[in-house]
Structure 1
Amino acid sequence: MDDEVNVTYITFDGHVELQKYRHLYFVVMFVLYIIIICWNSTIVYLIVIHENLHEPMYIFIAALLINSILYSTTIYPKLLIDFLSEEQITTFPLCQFQSAVYYTMTTSEFLLLSAMAYDRYVSICKPLQYSTIMRKTTVKVCLFTAWFVPACELGISVLLYINVKICHYSMQGLFCNTSIFKLQCVPSVALSIYGVFVLVNICLLPMLFIVFTYIRILIVTNRRFKTTRTKALQTCLPHLLVLINLSGFVAYDVIVVRLESDIPKLARFVLTLQIMVYHPLLNPFIYGLKMKEISKHLKHLLFQVESH
């Protein structure tokens, strides 16, 4: 490659024995991608068509599952193409775009989970004021904020890369994530500081808000009847499970970038594939089985399909 090509293209170097297993990788990941799309879309479809699910909690769940679809679509199509290609490459601008969209979808989940936590707090702790507080306007503002704020903040990080000089053209991964930071000739102090700001602002602070909110819910419900406490825990548990999964996912992403030279290539490859599959599949599984109303409609839909 000449200098111009080197500057333009980035190579993904995280694949393991791709020449030998490329078709197996393709088939497995293609099937999983279809399952992710269908599984998430089914739950969203049920929420859209059933009037009794047109409540803030279920609207936020639908938004979270749409996020899972967009998150997967940011990664899987390019990954599937790479499996069948002789060279696993991308241009630097496209790498920036993929990374920005990927992290926009990821971080917006923290804000959506914050909105869910607030919705549960108002529903359980201030039931008489629920209809006044959680109006359609409130829900729309929460949804807009959950997508707009991360998109703006990650968009700014893309702008900060405009004047960054790239000296490394190989990325130890399967797609563009925070590993893009290591392509720089000299690490940018501005990008490092801004990265910490984004992590704190749209990951850590929402996480602390969610934990604080659920602690308040537990304190309030502990003073009430056991049946009320049980019902509250049943509706909050799925959100907590998703939060734990998402927090582990983000922690893994940060740790891998910081320690990628110390992690064996095979281990990094397997862990990355698991995260790509595990995260978007877990959300619909949790909400489809743990949320009583969604589970009821899902069973009815499956019964109708089987009867035909």
Structure 2
Amino acid sequence: MKNFSSISEFTLSGFNELIENRYVFFSLTVLSYHIILFCNITVIFSIVSKRGLHEPMYIFLCNLCVNALYGTAAFYPKFMYDLLSQLHVISYTGCLIQIFVIYSSALCDFSTLTVMAYDRYVAICKPLEYHSEMTNHKIIKCILFSWLAPLFCVALLVLLTSRLTLCGSRIEKLYCENWAVVKLACSSTTVNNVIGYIIMIVYVGHAVLIACSYIQLIETCSRSREGKYRFMQTCMPHLLTLLNVSIALLFDVLYSRYGSNSLPQGLRHFLALDFLLIPPIFNPLIYGLSLTKIRKQVMRMFFSNIVVVF
């Protein structure tokens, strides 16, 4: 019986069905990753370069885009390499690092969206207190919260996973996922399961806080035409982003824990990759197209560059 000390690498068997069309998938992946890089870097640079965008809402949006670059960097380069490789393996240490980066990024998305919901709540429901409430010190604390809490939670999960005795090395996915590694254990996984469910409950609590803030926001905004316009302008992008991230993470959790092999392979791969593909592309697009200041700054940047070129 193998234990953790004798397993130096894992086999990613999810690639077996992609071999025939590997070049098609590689081309689509390269295109997707370049779109992710372009969209997120454009929004980040727009916010950083324009002093008028150094406001809490835009700073949190910048944090969301930075996190997208952080999370996708742990998946796309390795995925593209595996598509062209004959061997689809990942080292034991590399697997744990991939788990840590991908899932800390996913939870950071949720934490950042919670902070953004709080910002919108104060801005719309308590406008006279906004500048005294959302100080630079408060903004820094919110950003630290959105990063440190996910990093701690996922680090704890990875530490517990690394202590398990494993009896196999075959992961039936396209990347390393914590539950997929835990299922290979020959020893008890009770502690891992309990901590995993506690973390899930904590982030469901985040969702409840966001829902409560939006109930207040809708009640406040429905009282006037100006309030309705402000809600549509600044809150609707956040709501769309929240639904996007929530659905993607829900698919991933349900697929990882309760997924059936009877589902078509293409659908299983889509469910597994949804939160690594959809939110990083659509989040900057939603905000870039919806927020007037971001849209104007992006247009100004591109037009100025065209003028310089010609």
User: Partner of 1:301 in structure 2?
Assistant: 301
CA separation in 2, counterparts of 1:3 and 1:128?
Answer: 61
User: Partner of 1:229 in structure 2?
Assistant: 228
Taking every aligned residue pair, what percent have the same amino acid on both sides? 30
Structure 1 position 35, deviation (Å): 1.8
AA aligned to 1:54 is: H
User: Partner of 1:190 in structure 2?
Assistant: 191
CA separation in 1, counterparts of 2:273 and 2:197?
Answer: 26
2:3–2:166 Cα contact (<8 Å) kept: no
Structure 1 position 33, deviation (Å): 1.0
AA aligned to 1:244 is: L
CA gap of 1:171–1:181, structure 2 versus 1, over 3 A, is same
Provide, for residues 36-86 of structure 1, a one-character-per-residue CA deviation record: whole Å limited to 9, x for no partner: 112100100000010110000000000001111111101001111111211
Alignment of 1:63-82 (within 5 A): 63-82=63-82
Structure 1 position 17, deviation (Å): 4.0
User: Partner of 2:240 in structure 1?
Assistant: 241
User: Partner of 1:204 in structure 2?
Assistant: 204
Alignment of 1:209-220 (within 5 A): 209-220=209-220
Structure 1 position 4, deviation (Å): 9.1
Structure 1 position 13, deviation (Å): 1.1
1:26–1:83 Cα contact (<8 Å) kept: yes
AA aligned to 1:279 is: P
Structure 1 position 187, deviation (Å): 5.1
1:22–1:84 Cα contact (<8 Å) kept: yes
AA aligned to 2:261 is: S
User: Partner of 1:118 in structure 2?
Assistant: 118
Alignment of 1:57-136 (within 5 A): 57-136=57-136
User: Partner of 2:289 in structure 1?
Assistant: 289
Structure 1 position 5, deviation (Å): 9.7
CA separation in 2, counterparts of 1:123 and 1:295?
Answer: 21
AA aligned to 2:185 is: Q
CA separation in 1, counterparts of 2:17 and 2:153?
Answer: 37
Secondary structure (helix, strand or coil) at the match of 1:261 reads coil
CA separation in 2, counterparts of 1:19 and 1:111?
Answer: 37
2:30–2:80 Cα contact (<8 Å) kept: yes
TM norm structure 1: 0.93
Q: Over aligned residue pairs, what C-alpha RMSD do you find? A: 1.9
Structure 1 position 168, deviation (Å): 2.2
Structure 1 position 23, deviation (Å): 2.6
User: Partner of 1:165 in structure 2?
Assistant: 165
AA aligned to 1:157 is: L
1:171–1:180 Cα contact (<8 Å) kept: yes
CA separation in 2, counterparts of 1:16 and 1:83?
Answer: 10
CA separation in 2, counterparts of 1:256 and 1:21?
Answer: 23
CA separation in 1, counterparts of 2:12 and 2:195?
Answer: 25
CA separation in 1, counterparts of 2:173 and 2:193?
Answer: 20
User: Partner of 1:30 in structure 2?
Assistant: 30
Give the count of matched residue pairs: 305
1:6–1:169 Cα contact (<8 Å) kept: no
Structure 1 position 180, deviation (Å): 2.2
Provide, for residues 72-105 of structure 1, a one-character-per-residue CA deviation record: whole Å limited to 9, x for no partner: 1010011111112111001222212211111101
CA gap of 1:149–1:163, structure 2 versus 1, over 3 A, is same
CA gap of 1:4–1:43, structure 2 versus 1, over 3 A, is closer
Greater displacement, 9-18 / 250-259? 9-18
In the alignment, does 2:91 pair up with 1:56?
no
Structure 1 position 275, deviation (Å): 4.2
1:11–1:88 Cα contact (<8 Å) kept: yes
Secondary structure (helix, strand or coil) at the match of 1:193 reads helix
Q: Which runs of 5+ in 2 are unaligned?
A: none
Greater displacement, 273-282 / 214-223? 273-282
CA separation in 2, counterparts of 1:152 and 1:131?
Answer: 30
2:252–2:275 Cα contact (<8 Å) kept: no
Provide, for residues 165-211 of structure 1, a one-character-per-residue CA deviation record: whole Å limited to 9, x for no partner: 1112111111112322222224501000100111111x211111111
Provide, for residues 222-275 of structure 1, a one-character-per-residue CA deviation record: whole Å limited to 9, x for no partner: 23x212222123210011101101110111011111224332323212443454
CA separation in 1, counterparts of 2:38 and 2:238?
Answer: 21
AA aligned to 1:300 is: R
User: Partner of 1:138 in structure 2?
Assistant: 138
